[in-house]
Structure 1
Amino acid sequence: MQEYRIHARRIDEHGSLAVAKEAEVALDTDLSGRRDAMNPVELLLSALAACMLKGIERVTPMLDFRIDGAEIQLEATRQDAPPKLTHIRYEIVVDSAETDQRLNLLHRNILKYGTISNTLSGAVDLSGSLRRRN
């Protein structure tokens, strides 16, 4: 089993800092919000995007899949009481000349082997698509 660790600390009433390995991420923990840092939901969505992009990097060599680029758009719906996310929608857009069948295979593999996508899909409605850039 793999284990992961981060350390987070409050800087002041406007923000906090998370550290993992040699990387630092400013956290928006200000009750009024900050434009220069991600809030907890944005960080969660970023983790999902990173998981999907890493999945692309993992499976493309195994599938001998040709890809020139990828982008992911994510949106989440939050309810107030109790506060939780109820739905996450994503769109993966790839630059690739692969067939539609191969794109579907890539999409299935991204979801099947993603630690964050598997974790979140067990807790919240996760839906989306993968398409070729026009």
Structure 2
Amino acid sequence: MEFDVTARRRDAHGSEARCKQAVIPLDTDPAGNTDAFNPAELLLAALSACMIKGIERVTPILKFRLRGVEVRVHGVRRDVPPRLESIVYEIVVDTDEEDRRLDLLHDNVRKFGTVFNTVAPGTQLSGTLRRRRPGEEGPPS
């Protein structure tokens, strides 16, 4: 499997990335741009998408029933050399499945995610997968 993305500068305030029929605005302005993801945020979004895609891929195989998923990611940047020093994630699953099945789902996310396994060796990557609590704000979808 191979992937191709093309990015181009739009102006001094932003760029865009294209893949297939999709376009993503990029924050490449040194002053920042609140209407787009900066490169570090884009990496965290890719990691989040990888986790959700892995869950979507494995739930039919495991016959795992869920109503929704939300991934929350926090990255800490180190200045010298510039890099993401650590990434902590929380996967919140809206499900009635047993705890052991949640553990199995989390194991699959960690073992079979392309972006997850690319990022993990180069940073302190850790996190949890938990069930959504009754009444918790912002239902995953």
- Scaled by the length of structure 1, what TM-score is found? 0.98
CA RMSD of aligned residues (A): 0.5
Give the CA deviation at 1:122.
1.1
Paired position in structure 1 for 2:65: 66
Paired position in structure 2 for 1:42: 41
- Distance in 2 between residues matched to 1:21 and 1:124, nearest whole Å: 30
Paired position in structure 1 for 2:82: 83
- Distance in 1 between residues matched to 2:110 and 2:2, nearest whole Å: 21
- Distance in 1 between residues matched to 2:126 and 2:19, nearest whole Å: 29
Paired position in structure 1 for 2:54: 55
Structure 1 residue 22 corresponds to structure 2 residue 21: yes
Q: Deviations over 1:24-60 (max 9, x none)?
A: 0000000100110000011000000000000010010
Q: Deviations over 1:49-88 (max 9, x none)?
A: 0000000100100001000000000000111011011100
- Distance in 1 between residues matched to 2:60 and 2:16, nearest whole Å: 35
The DSSP-based 3-state class of the residue aligned with 1:122 is: helix
The DSSP-based 3-state class of the residue aligned with 1:111 is: helix
The DSSP-based 3-state class of the residue aligned with 1:65 is: coil
- Scaled by the length of structure 2, what TM-score is found? 0.93
- Distance in 1 between residues matched to 2:126 and 2:73, nearest whole Å: 10
Give the CA deviation at 1:12.
0.9
- Distance in 1 between residues matched to 2:124 and 2:81, nearest whole Å: 16
Paired position in structure 2 for 1:4: 3
Paired position in structure 1 for 2:113: 114
- Distance in 2 between residues matched to 1:24 and 1:53, nearest whole Å: 20
Give the CA deviation at 1:9.
0.5
The DSSP-based 3-state class of the residue aligned with 1:18 is: strand
